[in-house]
Structure 1
Amino acid sequence: MHINDLELFIAVAKLGSFSKAAESLDTRRALVSRRIADLEKHLGAPLFIRTTRAMSLTPNGEQFLEQVEPLVNQLRNAAHVMRNDQAEVQGRVRIGLIPFTDRLLDKYIAEFVTKYPNVQLDIFMVNGGYKELARLGLDFVLDTGTLDDSGFIAKKLGTLNLKLFASPLYIDKAADIHDVTDLEHHSFIGSRSINGMVDTKLKMGDQTIEVKYNIITNELNSLYSFCLAGAGISMLPYSIAAEAIASGKLVSVLPEIESTPIDTFLVYPSRKHMTAAAKLFADTIVDMATSLIETETGYYKDAKNDTKTELKKA
């Protein structure tokens, strides 16, 4: 039983005909008639007495109207209050984003501030991830990897797999790539972890690749920029490389292989103490992540279904 059917029933009961109810609700008479018939079938009892001149409620119809009309009014009022409350949300939200996620969130942030003009987003780009929560007084942080502090609450947003990408500028001047073993002879752009360590062994699925880094950076934007410029091969999420792939500025290297899964999280001290504005924006990030993970998953699936790719100089 749908609330729209109940609203149709109330309109017919109040106006005394299918035609008048259809006109008041800007719909077709045949649709009203069919929905009322479906409602009667669902309830197992007739609601209206139909004659050639008029319609009236049956005793069952009168009883049903008396019970459902107040409920429908309450639901309408609750929805109205919710819409007004959402529109009036205000305050400041302090957000920590790891590098490059601002580019993934840009359109969602724009939509959010347009919908909630009284909310101010105070955004910090943090290399330290969730460890910056207390120091910067953040409402929450978008982070990846392993979380080892039980003092915070973490909502898992999804899982990403990294793939190898390079610019045609690099591919054209580098040695051919036929399989994983060829990567030992190529230049890589690597990232330094928060603790300062650099792992020279890339874990790609069930394979471990020993690589040589010509450039090491602790910032994902720089890693991406150097890769675009042709400095070497980088391991990136598809969501970051997608625009450059579409424009031909980056190509996938051995697309059939990928990294071990990387979890993404929304980390916060306590949702209980979040402001209404912070909760709303957190929900926006959850929606964004759902869409992003679906896009990533589709790309990974397509890559696995493709035949093995070899990169050769023209």
Structure 2
Amino acid sequence: MKLEDIKIFSKVVELGSFTAAAKAFDIPRGKVSRKVNELEQHLNTQLFHRTTRSLSLTNHGETYYKQIIQAIDIIDSAGAQVSRDNPALTGRVKLGLLPSTYTHVQPTLFKFQDAYPEVQLDIRTITNGLEDLINQGLDIAFHSGSLGDTNLVAKHLLAIERCLVASPEYLARYGSPQDSSELVEHDAVCFRHPSGHVEEEWPMNGIVVPVSPRLICDSIGFIMSATMEGRGISYLPRVMILEELANGSLVEFLPSEDVYREDGWLLYPPRQTLNQASRTLIDWIVNDSIRLAGEE
């Protein structure tokens, strides 16, 4: 019985399926099934109740899982203690980023990799952190909005505030709206969500305000550049456009409006199931978000 096999078993429990565990380890599903079967044979007991639609722990499986999680934590803690004497952190981290977070998170990730050059960052584009962390077998994922009911660990990073912006040229040509009710009279550059929903109504002042989309795109980066080119007004996360607001390529208007805010989260499974590189990156991102929040 190898530690790798025990970790595969714990990942199946954590993610709820052999397929998800296989994706997490980038191995064939058949290997996961075989390793669990071998573990059951070694222990001479059944760990899972299996049906075509569900997978659940037996009583013996639940008892075994609680014990091995503690053992994995002790082993990983011992490894972390040894690694303090050896600063060369190694390993691979599979990280899910929302398209809207790339520009903001990239400097943090590059600083991390400069500090730990032996760590491989495997970055995936995701649409929903809650779902994609499991479906793609990720170690860490960003998520915005509500959390719902989840067994994942969720670290609050920041409150993402939207702001109404346009280019100086657009406002000089068409004028600046004096009230949210005037937004519908202007060309709007609107975001299309992965679900297909188009933001044709912008939440503010406790209501949703209708706008008139001239351009629709599922890329926040495209929306930002189109707005800078004077193609219309947009409703963008402030944290993404701090530099553009500072250099004047985008201008905020109606700043007194009660704009929309949503929470940004960092999601990950219980830390015991993550390698040292993933745990170090989690702490790095959280600490950097605290530092950035203090600068705003």
Whether TM exceeds 0.5 here: the answer is yes
- Alignment partner, residue 92 of structure 2: 92
- Alignment partner, residue 228 of structure 1: 228
State the alpha-carbon separation in 1 of the partners of residues 281 and 234 from structure 2: 31
Does the residue aligned with 1:84 lie in a helix, a strand or coil? coil
State the alpha-carbon separation in 1 of the partners of residues 212 and 239 from structure 2: 25
Q: Is the 8 A contact 1:166 1:251 kept in 2?
A: yes
| Cα offsets for 1:36-94 (capped at 9, x unmatched) | xxxxxxxxxxxxxxxxxxxxxxxxxxxxxxxxxxxxxxxxxxxx967435x13210111
Does the residue aligned with 1:146 lie in a helix, a strand or coil? coil
State the alpha-carbon separation in 1 of the partners of residues 206 and 197 from structure 2: 22
State the alpha-carbon separation in 1 of the partners of residues 194 and 146 from structure 2: 12
| Cα offsets for 1:282-312 (capped at 9, x unmatched) | 11111222233344xx4xxxxxxxxxxxxxx
- Alignment partner, residue 187 of structure 1: 187
Does the residue aligned with 2:130 lie in a helix, a strand or coil? helix
Which amino acid letter does the alignment assign opposite residue 268 of structure 1?
Y
Which amino acid letter does the alignment assign opposite residue 200 of structure 2?
T
Deviation at 1:163, TM superposition (A): 0.8
State the alpha-carbon separation in 2 of the partners of residues 290 and 212 from structure 1: 37
Query: Normalising by the residue count of structure 1, what TM-score does the alignment of the two structures yield?
Result: 0.63
Structure 2: state its 5+ residue gaps. Answer: 1-80
- Alignment partner, residue 145 of structure 1: 145
Structure with the greater alpha carbon radius of gyration = 1
User: In the alignment, does 2:193 pair up with 1:204?
Assistant: no
Which amino acid letter does the alignment assign opposite residue 213 of structure 2?
Y
Does the residue aligned with 1:96 lie in a helix, a strand or coil? strand
Please list, as runs of the form range in 1=range in 2, the aligned pairs for 1:98-177 lying within 5 A after superposition: 98-177=98-177
Does the residue aligned with 1:172 lie in a helix, a strand or coil? helix
- Alignment partner, residue 241 of structure 2: 241
Does the residue aligned with 1:177 lie in a helix, a strand or coil? coil
- State the aligned residue count: 217
Deviation at 1:134, TM superposition (A): 2.6
State the alpha-carbon separation in 1 of the partners of residues 197 and 163 from structure 2: 21
Q: Is the 8 A contact 1:162 1:258 kept in 2?
A: no
State the alpha-carbon separation in 1 of the partners of residues 234 and 258 from structure 2: 12
Query: Normalising by the residue count of structure 2, what TM-score does the alignment of the two structures yield?
Result: 0.67
Please list, as runs of the form range in 1=range in 2, the aligned pairs for 1:299-310 lying within 5 A after superposition: none
Deviation at 1:193, TM superposition (A): 2.3
Which amino acid letter does the alignment assign opposite residue 106 of structure 1?
Q
Which amino acid letter does the alignment assign opposite residue 220 of structure 2?
L
Does the residue aligned with 2:173 lie in a helix, a strand or coil? coil
Does the residue aligned with 1:161 lie in a helix, a strand or coil? strand
Does the residue aligned with 1:156 lie in a helix, a strand or coil? strand
State the alpha-carbon separation in 2 of the partners of residues 271 and 262 from structure 1: 26
Report the aligned-residue RMSD.
2.3
Deviation at 1:222, TM superposition (A): 1.6
State the alpha-carbon separation in 2 of the partners of residues 101 and 292 from structure 1: 14
Q: Is the 8 A contact 1:105 1:288 kept in 2?
A: no
Deviation at 1:207, TM superposition (A): 4.4
State the alpha-carbon separation in 2 of the partners of residues 90 and 145 from structure 1: 32
State the alpha-carbon separation in 2 of the partners of residues 228 and 264 from structure 1: 25
Q: Is the 8 A contact 2:161 2:239 kept in 1?
A: no
Q: Is the 8 A contact 2:189 2:234 kept in 1?
A: yes
- Alignment partner, residue 74 of structure 1: none
| Cα offsets for 1:258-300 (capped at 9, x unmatched) | 42320111112332201100011111111222233344xx4xx
- Alignment partner, residue 14 of structure 1: none
Deviation at 1:180, TM superposition (A): 2.0
Does the residue aligned with 2:182 lie in a helix, a strand or coil? helix
